[in-house]
């Protein structure tokens, strides 16, 4: 099928550009990841981030705490990293174990080192269209749309899902491209009425095969952000087999948005390094 958006190929192109930038400009960026507990999925994601950093010559450090650690000690470590000029990016791997205040911990990260783009300051600057570090998955989605020459100007874009991590930042990025944006969520009625109107449909609901062939119009661009485990395999929020017959472009799961999320993290680490060193 020639309508598939290849996130793996796109991420390789993206990472090669980042590696070239690091080599040619003599940059020495460093990412530190804090992981609390032993969530299996988190461990896989951390390993993927480490490999990606190694691929482009970004220094990677992992600080792993047991889930019995106190919130105060985690905050002390974040403050130490904030003051360490050799560390350019700080990322707290989510989700956190039960009992931790995610918002409180994330907002201890310096906004200049918040490479996940989740601190209140970065989120606020995104809304106001100021320079900031942007959440990685929404950035990855926008990079894919750009790479595949999807023009958003005036287009009807429907976002299904309103999470702080994906949906809400995506809305702001799409508005910056002058798209006409509608948002659907778990309390929306007649989602199909909105998805059928969309020139571009972005689904980040965390609900396997939520979007079916009858819910999209012919020629729609479909970006599936969902990753759901079903019967020992990964599936998206979109019924790929059905919807791909009508979509002009569509991302698979896996191999679509996921690789670009990691590539966008690398871009944020380099951007943070440059800001901290007065290079931009």
Catalytic residues: 49, 93, 116
- Nearest to residue 184, comparing CAs of 163, 164, 169? 163
Beta bridge partners of 34: 63, 92
Beta bridge partners of 222: 201, 250
d(C-alpha 114, C-alpha 122), whole Å: 8
Instruction: Residue 84: count other Cβ atoms within 10 Å of its Cβ.
Output: 13
The answer to whether the beta carbons of residues 264 and 246 sit under 8 Å apart is no
Q: Residue 236 has what DSSP assignment?
A: -
The answer to whether the beta carbons of residues 180 and 156 sit under 8 Å apart is yes
d(C-alpha 209, C-alpha 99), whole Å: 32
């Amino acid at each position: 099928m020639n309508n598939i958006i290849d996130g793996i190929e796109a991420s390789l192109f993206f990472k090669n550009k980042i590696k070239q930038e690091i080599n040619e400009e003599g940059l020495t960026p460093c990412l530190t990841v804090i992981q609390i507990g032993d969530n299996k999925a988190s461990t896989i994601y951390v390993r993927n981030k480490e490999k990606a950093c190694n691929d482009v010559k970004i220094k990677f450090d992992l600080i792993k705490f047991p889930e019995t650690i106190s919130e105060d000690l985690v905050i002390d470590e974040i403050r130490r990293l904030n003051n360490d000029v050799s560390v350019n990016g700080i990322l707290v791997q989510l989700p956190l174990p039960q009992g931790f205040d995610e918002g409180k911990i994330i907002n201890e990260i310096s906004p200049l080192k918040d490479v996940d783009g989740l601190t209140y300051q970065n989120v606020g600057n995104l809304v106001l269209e100021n320079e900031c570090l942007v959440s990685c998955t929404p950035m990855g989605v926008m990079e894919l749309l750009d790479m595949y020459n999807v023009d958003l100007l005036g287009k009807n874009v429907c976002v299904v899902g309103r999470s702080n991590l994906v949906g809400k930042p995506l809305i702001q990025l799409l508005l910056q491209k002058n798209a006409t944006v509608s948002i659907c969520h778990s309390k929306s009625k007649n989602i199909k009425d909105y998805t059928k109107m969309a020139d571009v449909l972005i689904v980040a609901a965390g609900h396997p095969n939520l979007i079916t062939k009858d819910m999209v119009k012919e020629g729609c661009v479909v970006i599936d952000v969902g990753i759901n485990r079903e019967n020992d395999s990964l599936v998206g929020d979109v019924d790929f087999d059905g919807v791909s017959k009508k979509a002009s472009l569509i991302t698979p799961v896996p191999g679509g948005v996921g690789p670009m999320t990691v590539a966008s993290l690398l871009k944020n680490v380099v951007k943070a390094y440059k800001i901290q060193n007065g290079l931009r």
